[in-house]
Amino acid sequence: MNRPAFTFTLPLVLAFGWLALGCVEELSIPDEAPAAEVAVGETRRIELRYLRFDVEGFEQRLTLADLRALPNSTLDQLWLLDLELTPLVQNALTQLKTLPADQVAELPLAAQNMRTLMNITPDNVNLEGTSLEQLINLSAAIGLPSAKALADIFAIGITENLISIEANTQAVVEGLIASHPATQWREGPIDAEHPDGKWAVAPNSLPITLGDVVNNFTGLTERFGPAETEFGTHPGFIQEAEGFSVVEEEFAMTVKVDLNALPYKGADLTDGSSASVNSTGSQIANVFPVDDPDWMQVEGLVPDPSISRMTVIMIENDEFISGGTAMDPAPQGNSPAWDLPPWEFERVVVEMVKIATASVPAHETTYSLANDTPAFTATIDENQWITFEALEGVQGLEIPPPAYAWDVVLELAQVRLHDGGLGEGEADIAFTLEDVPLGVSADAIIEQIRDNMAANPLALQDLAEALTANTVGFADFYYWKPKPGGPSEAEGDWLYFVTADDIPVDDDGPARAYDYANPGFFADQGLSQKLSTTDEDVDGDVTHEKVRVAPGDTLFIEDDAGRVYRIDVADKASPNTIALDVTRVD
């Protein structure tokens, strides 16, 4: 395979990677003219030196500028945390709920109605047009405050919200947000448990990557816009979001590392040239001293992150969705609302009422006339099934049929949502809010990031390698020796066949394709008897094909162009070098 010529100019910052060791002089390798391909039958000697520079507790500080200089793919793939959205949503809803009257008047009618719904209490509820209206008229005629009756039914105070902000929030989060694919799965590394690279997002959370943080959450509206789901097209829930106040310009991440900072020396068989392979990846499991509470520090996060402007949307169904009329199917009844997509307003309403009324104890409330004749009775059972009874014979009074609490409120909610003459399907809700707190402190975010990284340091591999960027050339294999003082069974000289993870990645993807048909080292030219293995755990590595060699050994290897070479291990010139005679045999 023909390759471009490669310039081996390795400034120290690359040679020693992101550790930027100031105590080692920059190593300069003179430019070499591109070598010719090894011809069939030609033999070339390659000498490889094993360089080792172990550092411990070295702190690397990455500023926002440092991070922004990294490839976007690296930033976007580095998942930091799943940000629980419940606080943000609760803050947004609270802001809508408590909006001053002068600003309410400027809201779209549907949003105003939504706000009204959120503020409904037994004291201020307008039951006009609902099945409860006549019952309330009866209550007024007999001197019973309707607010008291409603409050008693739902076991709340008369100025207490019928649907608490917590229930409101939970329903919106679980219905509108949790049903969006972007809050269900995120891209992550492929491993045995995640063969497709799909990782589950924590419930009701937004996966946040380093790219989100560094780029101030641009692209969030796209990620959480319309998306296909099993229920149809999710309309998305953030129509607009800008001005995330999360990171400041002085943002910086500092990590401590323990590792061999130098790359591994290897060979590009094509021309027998020397190459370097970033060593970070192979050490990543042990690079970070996660037991040290200060192994990762993040500074420059806004203490109380917020979004300066966001527009939340919720659509309603185009039809009036009736409440249920039967207890079955238990425990929620037969309202068509339960069959709606989880993000639609009517579905969210029944969910929120179900949440809000879950703690209402079974009880019966009866109001009697002076002669003890029951004028009005409401019974709510442990499943929130409400049965109404009232004086018979009252003209115009249609006693509401038994229903679940959410069926009753669903009707009320839909009627109120369309106040002002809105027709069915015209009450899609959109409201823009400003300066909405995320509801999670910077400290909490940092804590989550630290914990997540500690649990899975592999996630940092791309970042670490991108920062070191000391892969040079196109090594097919490299020379490795164990750390001095390690187990005796690992001692010796090892040849490691490169893996896909050894190929550096930038915004255009991997620097080269990993096209090896038969990775590994073989005993025969036909590559039928593999000498190397990935099974052997050498210093924690189980991903590379590796083989221990000694002078006099003969191996066969195939490069990514399908050429086969014989490697004859020659005598060592020094303890940390190895000499290989490479002959192209095919």
Query: Which residues are at the interface with another protein (CB under 8 A)?
Result: 86-87, 90-91, 93-100, 103-104, 106-108, 111, 123-124, 137-138, 140-145, 147-148, 157-159, 165, 304, 309, 367-373, 391-396, 431-435, 437, 439, 441
Q: Which is nearer to another protein, 382 or 435 (CB)?
A: 435
Q: Which is nearer to another protein, 47 or 166 (CB)?
A: 166
Q: Which is nearer to another protein, 311 or 576 (CB)?
A: 311
- Within 10 angstroms of residue 410's Cβ, the number of other Cβ atoms is 25
The number of CA neighbours under 13 Å toward the Cβ of 195 is 1
* Shortest CB 243 distance to another protein, Å: 12
Residue 419's nearest CA partner among 104, 113, 106 is 113
- Within 10 angstroms of residue 381's Cβ, the number of other Cβ atoms is 16
Pairing verdict, β 374-380 and 363-368: antiparallel
d(CA 420, CA 476): 73
Q: Which is nearer to another protein, 41 or 303 (CB)?
A: 303
Q: Which is nearer to another protein, 371 or 488 (CB)?
A: 371
* Shortest CB 252 distance to another protein, Å: 25
d(CA 398, CA 401): 9
Q: Which residue type occupies 540?
A: G
d(CA 558, CA 293): 46
Q: Which is nearer to another protein, 9 or 308 (CB)?
A: 308
d(CA 375, CA 397): 12
Residue 331's nearest CA partner among 388, 402, 404 is 404
* Shortest CB 513 distance to another protein, Å: 48
d(CA 1, CA 416): 71
Q: Which is nearer to another protein, 169 or 209 (CB)?
A: 169
Give the residue ranges of DSSP H helices in 256-368. Answer: 280-287, 345-357
Q: Which is nearer to another protein, 283 or 306 (CB)?
A: 306
d(CA 455, CA 480): 27
* Shortest CB 443 distance to another protein, Å: 12
Q: Which residues pair with 422 in a beta bridge?
A: none
b/e sequence 219-252, b meaning 16+ C-beta within 10 Å: ebbebbbeeeeeeeebbbbbbebeebbbbeeebb
* Shortest CB 176 distance to another protein, Å: 18
Q: Which is nearer to another protein, 27 or 144 (CB)?
A: 144
* Shortest CB 235 distance to another protein, Å: 18
Backbone torsion region of residue 75, taken as left when φ is above 0, otherwise alpha when ψ lies between -120 and 50, otherwise beta: alpha
* Shortest CB 131 distance to another protein, Å: 16
d(CA 483, CA 286): 13
* Shortest CB 389 distance to another protein, Å: 11
* Shortest CB 62 distance to another protein, Å: 28
Q: Which is nearer to another protein, 91 or 448 (CB)?
A: 91
Find the helix or strand (DSSP H, E) in which 429 lies.
Answer: strand 429-437
Phi, psi of 283 (to 5 degrees): -105, 0
d(CA 278, CA 503): 9
d(CA 460, CA 581): 37
* Shortest CB 371 distance to another protein, Å: 4
* Shortest CB 139 distance to another protein, Å: 9
* Shortest CB 314 distance to another protein, Å: 15
Q: Which is nearer to another protein, 157 or 487 (CB)?
A: 157
Q: Which is nearer to another protein, 302 or 454 (CB)?
A: 302
Q: Which residues pair with 232 in a beta bridge?
A: 229
d(CA 443, CA 303): 7
